[in-house]
Amino acid sequence: MNEEFLKDRVDTLFGTTFNERDGRVVPTTADVALKDGAVKIDATFLYADLAGSAHLSSVCPWSTTAKIIRAFLDCSTRLIVKHGGAIRSFDGDRVMGVFIGDAKNSSAAICGREIHWTVRKIISPKARDKFNSIKNNYI
């Protein structure tokens, strides 16, 4: 692709008039036309990642790191859904949940606190007990 092609694409995208509508639920990719669709929602986004995972991967075998990240993502997604959120993306050790409705802010905040509690009180202690690389590196 050359520079002119990319400039033309940007001009086309910037000149697009959106076909917008108000949403009552968190839309999926299939619900929004990629060419000119837009769904406006009043939402709260929760973005959670596993703090220290880069260090974790530098001192632990890959399989240990993968198991800990998987446990974090599993617990986080279950808590997001428990609190009424919808999962919309994953990226490595990160998950994004979207909350809508009258209690969206409180639901997201409580969920975030529960994710933090789960890491400190369940995942970390169990990882220290199970994996010598965690125990020996005081993670």
pLDDT tens by residue, 8-56? 999 988 988 887 777 777 767 676 666 777 778 899 999 999 988 888 8
Q: What's domain 43-137's superfamily in CATH?
A: Nucleotide cyclase, GGDEF domain (3.30.70.1230)
List CB contacts of 133: < 8 A, sequence separation 6 or more: 59, 60, 61, 64
The chain-wide mean pLDDT, for the chain, equals 89
The answer to whether residues 74 and 129 touch, using CB atoms and an 8 Å cutoff, is no
Considering the entire predicted model, what is its pTM?
0.80
Q: Hunting for tokens 């009552």 — which residue is that?
A: 24
Nearest to 112 by CA among 67, 92, 69, 82: 82
List CB contacts of 89: < 8 A, sequence separation 6 or more: 95, 96
> Given this model, what pLDDT does residue 83 score?
98
Domain ranges of the chain: 3-40, 43-137
Cα dihedral 13, 19, 22, 28 sign: negative
